[in-house]
């Protein structure tokens, strides 16, 4: 932490980092942005890629091309061995670009979390921050009908194409998460709280989470 003090709208000190895993079309990003607005903190989604590019020296397009994309199990084992035991200049140079992008994002996630409370959407942020006591890990999902409708409207797609896009994106996110973490994407025991955004809608889901986070803050005092 930087020593900066943040407070919720109810006057409570805010020190919590919120990570959000999400199904495609569940409004996870929108919910993250509204949470950040409510608490007066930053929200990192695609913004994380820009910062990772700036700090790693990679071009942003390269990082975007590897963003939340699955890899094979051999590459996963190699990356995690490198990350667990540290890496020197020689080993880093020899890594495939997918390894380097993964490590750059992981390092950036850790840095932004150290700077103060924030919302981080996707990218195995919960795994990157495992063991941190000031972090709440969320997963947002939704009914298929709600997801399809949202994707159709946002991307101007037919129902069929929206369904295909949802399946493709979720498979990518699931594969990426399952390879790079020791947990299972979307499974309840991988997170602190899983919420169906279709039940309460975006605004209702945000209210539920803000109450959860504020209660978490009280418990942490």
Neighbours of 119 (CB within 10 A): 28
Look up tokens 């919590």; give the residue.
Answer: 16
Q: What is the pLDDT of residues 169-201, one digit of tens each?
A: 999 999 888 887 888 999 999 999 999 999 999
- In 3D space, the residue among 42, 187, 48 whose CA is nearest the CA of residue 110 turns out to be 48
User: Which domains, and CATH codes, for the chain?
Assistant: 17-216 (3.40.50.300)
Torsion over CA: 91, 93, 94, 97 (sign): positive
Instruction: Tell me the average pLDDT across 5-25.
Output: 84
The better pLDDT of the pair 33, 179 is held by 33
Q: What is the pLDDT of residues 140-177, one digit of tens each?
A: 999 999 999 999 999 999 999 999 999 999 999 998 88
Interior angle at CA 161, CA 160 and CA 162, nearest 5: 90
**What are the φ and ψ backbone dihedral angles of 51, each rounded to 5 degrees?**
-70, -40
Q: Residue 111: what pLDDT?
A: 94
Residue 74 has pLDDT above 50, yes or no: no
Rounded to the nearest integer, the mean pLDDT of the chain is 84
Q: Residue 78: what pLDDT?
A: 46
- Dist. CA 192–CA 205, nearest whole Å: 15
Task: Output the six-digit token pair for 191.
Answer: 């997170």
pTM higher than 0.85, yes or no? no
- Dist. CA 208–CA 198, nearest whole Å: 13
Neighbours of 72 (CB within 10 A): 11
120 pairs with which residues across the strands?
19, 44
Residue 12 has pLDDT above 90, yes or no: no
Residue 42 has pLDDT above 90, yes or no: yes
CB neighbour list of residue 53: distance below 8 Å, 6 or more residues apart: 59, 60, 62, 63, 104
The better pLDDT of the pair 61, 47 is held by 47
């Amino acid at each position: 932490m930087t020593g900066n003090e943040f407070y919720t709208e109810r006057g409570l000190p805010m020190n919590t980092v919120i990570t959000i895993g999400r199904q495609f079309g569940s409004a996870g990003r929108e919910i993250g942005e509204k949470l950040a607005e409510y608490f007066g903190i930053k929200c990192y989604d695609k913004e994380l890629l820009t910062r990772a590019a700036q700090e790693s020296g990679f071009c942003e397009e390269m990082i975007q091309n590897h963003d939340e994309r699955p890899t094979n199990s051999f590459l996963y084992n190699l990356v995690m061995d490198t990350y667990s035991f540290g890496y020197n200049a020689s080993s880093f140079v020899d890594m495939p670009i997918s390894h380097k992008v993964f490590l750059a994002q992981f390092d950036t996630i850790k840095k932004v979390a150290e700077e103060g409370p924030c919302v981080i959407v996707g990218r195995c942020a919960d795994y990157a921050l495992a063991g941190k006591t000031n972090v709440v890990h969320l997963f947002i999902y939704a009914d298929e009908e709600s997801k399809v409708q949202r994707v159709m409207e946002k991307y101007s797609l037919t129902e069929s194409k929206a369904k295909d896009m949802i399946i493709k994106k979720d498979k990518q996110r699931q594969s990426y998460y399952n390879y790079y973490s020791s947990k299972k994407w979307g499974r309840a025991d991988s997170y602190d709280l899983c919420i169906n955004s279709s039940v309460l809608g975006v605004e209702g889901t945000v209210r539920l989470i803000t109450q959860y986070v504020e209660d978490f803050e009280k418990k942490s005092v």
